[in-house]
Amino acid sequence: MLRQVTAVRYVTPLRSGGSVPAVVEADDLGTYVVKFTGSAQGRKALVAEVIVGELARALGLRFPELVLVHFDPAIADDEPHQEVRDLHAASAGVNLGMDFLPGARDFTPEVAKTFRVDPLEAGRIVWLDALTANVDRTVHSSNLMIWPTLGTVPPRLWLIDHGAALVFHHRWDGSDPEKTYDFRHHALGHYAPDVRAADAELAPKVTRELLREVVSEVPDAWLTDFATPDEARASYVAHLHARVRASSAWLPTDFPTREELAAEEALRAARTQAGRPKWLKRVPDLHGRPAVEHDGSVHLG
Q: Summarize the confidence of residues 160-189 as an average pLDDT.
A: 95
As a dihedral over the C-alpha atoms of residue 69, residue 74, residue 79, residue 80, rounded to 10 degrees, the angle is 150
How many angstroms separate the Cα of 264 from the Cα of each of 50, 249, 261? 35, 26, 5
Strands of the sheet with 105-106, listed across from one edge: 105-106, 144-147, 156-159
Residue 90 has pLDDT above 70, yes or no: yes
Q: Distance between CA 198 and CA 122 in Å, rounded? A: 9
- b/e per residue, 176-193, with b = 16+ CB within 10 A? ebeeeeebebbbbbbbeb
How many angstroms separate the Cα of 154 from the Cα of each of 32, 118, 150, 157? 23, 14, 8, 10
pLDDT at 279: 60
Q: Could you give the angle at the alpha carbon of 30 between the alpha carbons of 27 and 35, nearest 5°? A: 95
Sign of the alpha-carbon torsion through 99, 100, 103, 109:
positive
Pairing of the two strands 3-13 and 22-26: antiparallel
pLDDT at 36: 98
pLDDT at 161: 96
Residue 188 has pLDDT above 50, yes or no: yes
Q: Summarize the confidence of residues 167-184 as an average pLDDT.
A: 94
The whole-chain average pLDDT of the chain stands at 91
Mind listing the pLDDT tens digit for each residue in 209-228?
999 999 999 999 999 999 99
The answer to whether the CB of 24 falls within 8 A of the CB of 32 is yes
pLDDT at 275: 73
Mind listing the pLDDT tens digit for each residue in 39-62?
999 999 999 999 999 999 999 999
3-state secondary structure of 263: helix
Q: Summarize the confidence of residues 86-114 as an average pLDDT.
A: 96
- 285 falls in which pLDDT band (50, 70, 90)? very low
Q: Distance between CA 217 and CA 291 in Å, rounded? A: 57
The answer to whether the CB of 55 falls within 8 A of the CB of 203 is no
- Residue 253 amino acid letter: T
pLDDT at 126: 98
3-state DSSP helix/strand/coil percent for the chain, to nearest 5?
40, 20, 45
Mind listing the pLDDT tens digit for each residue in 228-277?
999 999 999 999 999 999 999 999 999 988 788 788 888 888 888 777 66
Q: Which of 245, 47, 17 is nearest to 136 (CA)?
A: 17
pLDDT at 119: 97
Per-range mean pLDDT, top range of 171-175, 260-264, 275-279, 297-301: 171-175
**pTM of this prediction?**
0.88
74 CB neighbour count, 10 Å cutoff: 10
- 287 falls in which pLDDT band (50, 70, 90)? very low
